[in-house]
Structure 1
């Protein structure tokens, strides 16, 4: 079964805006995460616990950059994300997420973020005043 890029983008939006239940339902048993301040394998429960605080992000914008499906049960997605933290602070990152297909759907098994500058002058076109917004 081939992955749908739209389906995976919808999952990504859920990981940015969803709650603990969303994480539990859509992350694999273990997930390798890599951020500048940490890199580790997290259990489904530990990863879900990171989403306890509601309304963590708003004004989420996602611009896909790459999508590969090396097999029928593995897919990698890379995109640029821009969002506003609940504190009002802007955030931008180049994000890569790996999914594995399980009997009950695609599950996140890898996630990495590399922060980007949040200024308006950028090449991608997803600037502060852009009309490209994710709902």
Structure 2
């Protein structure tokens, strides 16, 4: 997957709803998020997204793309997200995607670390 497509894919997960998650999150995905229960299965993450207002805009910086082997991509980045009626959100994130077949990718891992956690405060 080309870098531009990777970042479009990732952005769609921040701005899309539960339907987008169901399509792009692997059944065996694990996520670590800064809210209870902190470690989420794919189904728990889909449920959380279904009950949370989505971000209307996101911007990525400090972007890294790693391809440790064929069919596996890991990205790291800083996200700044905004949504109508929501407080802005900043975090450092990682996402790992695996290719199931030509042009079909699924997220198998995602993690978010907000600034307070990152600074040790």
1:52 corresponds, among 50, 53, 58, to 50
- Is the counterpart of residue 109 in structure 1 residue 108 in structure 2? yes
Which sections of structure 1, spanning at least 5 residues, go unmatched? 118-135
1:17-37 deviation line (CA, Å, top 9, x unaligned):
111111111111121111234
Which one has the bigger helix percentage? 2
Q: TM-score, normalised by structure 1?
A: 0.73
> Could you say which structure has the larger radius of gyration?
1
Mapped to 1, the partners of 2:39 and 2:79 lie a distance apart of 22
Mapped to 1, the partners of 2:38 and 2:71 lie a distance apart of 24
Mapped to 1, the partners of 2:44 and 2:68 lie a distance apart of 28
- C-alpha deviation, 1:85, in angstroms: 4.0
Aligned match of 1:12: 10
Change in Cα spacing, 1:94 to 1:21, as seen in structure 2 (3 Å) is same
Q: Is the 8 A contact 1:69 1:75 kept in 2?
A: yes
- Is the counterpart of residue 67 in structure 1 residue 65 in structure 2? yes
2:96 corresponds, among 95, 98, 118, to 98
Aligned match of 1:28: 26
- C-alpha deviation, 1:59, in angstroms: 2.7
Mapped to 1, the partners of 2:98 and 2:62 lie a distance apart of 19
- C-alpha deviation, 1:55, in angstroms: 4.5
Q: TM-score, normalised by structure 2?
A: 0.81
Mapped to 2, the partners of 1:36 and 1:52 lie a distance apart of 17
